[in-house]
């Protein structure tokens, strides 16, 4: 079997890559080990920047009226106070985000890629890339209990933070500064949740940060996360942080007084800030979490999964459009350089702010100052969501 492009992983990054290639008549196959709809451990917050990408793909009708929108943010203020602000208006971004359980969002995206011409094999686990002379020319996978080999001119690794194909080619970098861990649980009967994303760097869980994201009027996705660098340095037990968050904090605990958990508490790894990963080798490029494309400050990765998927499609197609054909190896023109140009400066500021600034002694007074002016609140939101004018 031979395809122009094989995409490993049908999450947001893989679906976006496949959609943007299939729409331009590239023969693309997506392989995912899961059977969809499948769950993914996440906060389920779909930021305005991600919404812009989804709308641009033509998905507005499938989201509008079906899922909870959020229109602003609520932060812990000084003492027990909270500070809130609507998403600031900008001409380039919608004034809202969504909270969409990943079991729904990822199916919508994968179906959409399929409808637009991508072939999809679910329950097909990729075991390793096929490599000859250092060049990836396909993948070895298991489908219906049988081993299959699929050849492709280009392989795109969109298989998440533990990327099998990225690891096999030595592209993943495991530096604690570029890794994070987050855990989350759904609760029913949560008090006082509205259409705002609530983010709580409560002092009891510093240097971690908690969240309460409203999935519906009474159900919330509640979680806590921290950088691996901090977890190791301070010997943090994230499960204990979560217990503290839901039972003993000024802002979150009161909301959960009458609530009950409706899912197990689950955690997952985040690869953040472009993390030094090499993201390419001959015949293969990485996108989304496999390429460490999670925002170091907000922990948001859906935006960057969608964007790097589109960028990968453009990158692969650019060699065809400039006459070199799809046979030309896209890894020869640096994909990493494109990611660096677009994100590295922003991500580096985030990495260093979290590393040095995420201390209660610094964070609280800073937030108090920021919170006191609408102008600074709005700019904080723009910066966190990477929403430039």
Ligand X SMILES: Cc1cc2nc3c(=O)[nH]c(=O)nc-3n(C[C@H](O)[C@H](O)[C@H](O)COP(=O)(O)OP(=O)(O)OC[C@H]3O[C@@H](n4cnc5c(N)ncnc54)[C@H](O)[C@@H]3O)c2cc1C
Residues near ligand X (CB under 6 A): 8-14, 31-34, 40-45, 125-126, 158-160, 164, 182, 184, 223, 268, 270, 288-289, 294, 299-303, 305
Q: From the CB of residue 282, how many other CB atoms can be counted at a distance below 10 Å? A: 16
CB closer to ligand X, 210 vs 223:
223
List all residues 6 or more positions away from 368 whose beta carbon is below 8 Å from its beta carbon: 77, 78
Whichever of 3 and 319 has its CB closer to ligand X, that residue is: 3
- Residue 365 CB, nearest approach to ligand X (Å): 27
Q: How far is the CB of 372 from ligand X (least distance, A)?
A: 27
Residue nearest to ligand X (CB): 301
Least distance from C-beta 17 to ligand X, angstroms? 9
Nearer to ligand X, 300 or 329 (CB): 300
We find the least distance from the C-beta atom of residue 214 to ligand X, in angstroms, to be 12
Closer to ligand X by CB, 137 or 386: give it.
Answer: 386
d(CA 188, CA 204): 24
Our CB check for ligand X shows the closer of 75 and 319 to be 75
Tokens of 349: 């500021």
Nearer to ligand X, 159 or 198 (CB): 159
CB of 9 to ligand X, least distance (A): 3
In the bound complex, what is the minimum distance in angstroms from residue 337's beta carbon to ligand X? 20
């Amino acid at each position: 079997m031979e395809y122009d492009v094989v995409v490993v992983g049908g999450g947001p990054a893989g679906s976006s890559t496949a959609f943007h290639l299939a729409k331009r008549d590239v023969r693309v196959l997506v392989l995912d080990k899961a059977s969809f709809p499948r769950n993914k451990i996440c906060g389920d917050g779909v930021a305005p920047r991600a919404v812009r990408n989804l709308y641009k793909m033509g998905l507005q009708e499938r989201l509008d009226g079906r899922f909870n929108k959020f229109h602003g943010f609520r932060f812990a203020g000084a003492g027990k106070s909270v500070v809130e602000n609507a998403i600031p208006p900008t001409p380039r971004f919608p004034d809202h985000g969504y909270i969409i359980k990943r079991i729904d969002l990822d199916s919508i995206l994968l179906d959409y890629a399929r409808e637009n011409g991508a072939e999809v094999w679910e329950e097909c686990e990729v075991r390793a890339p096929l490599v000859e002379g250092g060049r990836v020319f396909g993948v070895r996978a298991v489908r219906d209990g049988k081993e299959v080999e699929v050849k492709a001119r280009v392989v795109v690794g969109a298989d998440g933070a533990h990327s099998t194909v990225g690891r096999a080619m030595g592209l993943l970098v495991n530096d604690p500064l570029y890794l994070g861990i987050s855990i989350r649980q759904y609760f029913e009967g949560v008090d006082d949740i509205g259409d705002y994303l609530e983010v709580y760097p409560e002092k009891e869980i510093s240097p971690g940060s908690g969240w309460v994201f409203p999935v519906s009027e009474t159900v919330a996705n509640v979680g806590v996360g921290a950088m691996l660098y901090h977890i190791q340095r301070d010997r943090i037990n994230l499960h204990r942080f979560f217990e503290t968050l839901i039972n003993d904090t000024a802002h979150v605990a009161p909301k959960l007084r009458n609530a009950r958990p409706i899912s197990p508490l689950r955690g997952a790894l985040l690869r953040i800030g472009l993390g030094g990963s090499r993201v390419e080798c001959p015949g293969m490029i990485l996108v989304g979490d496999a390429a460490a494309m999670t925002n170091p400050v907000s922990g948001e990765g859906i935006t960057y999964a969608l964007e790097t998927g589109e960028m990968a499609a453009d990158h692969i197609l650019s060699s065809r459009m400039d006459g070199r054909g799809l046979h030309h190896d896209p890894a020869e023109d640096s994909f990493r350089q494109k990611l660096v140009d677009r994100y590295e400066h922003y991500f580096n500021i985030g990495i260093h702010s979290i590393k040095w600034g995420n201390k209660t002694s610094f964070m609280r007074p800073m937030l108090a100052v920021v919170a006191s002016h609408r102008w600074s609140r709005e700019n904080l939101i723009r910066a966190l969501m990477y929403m430039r004018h």
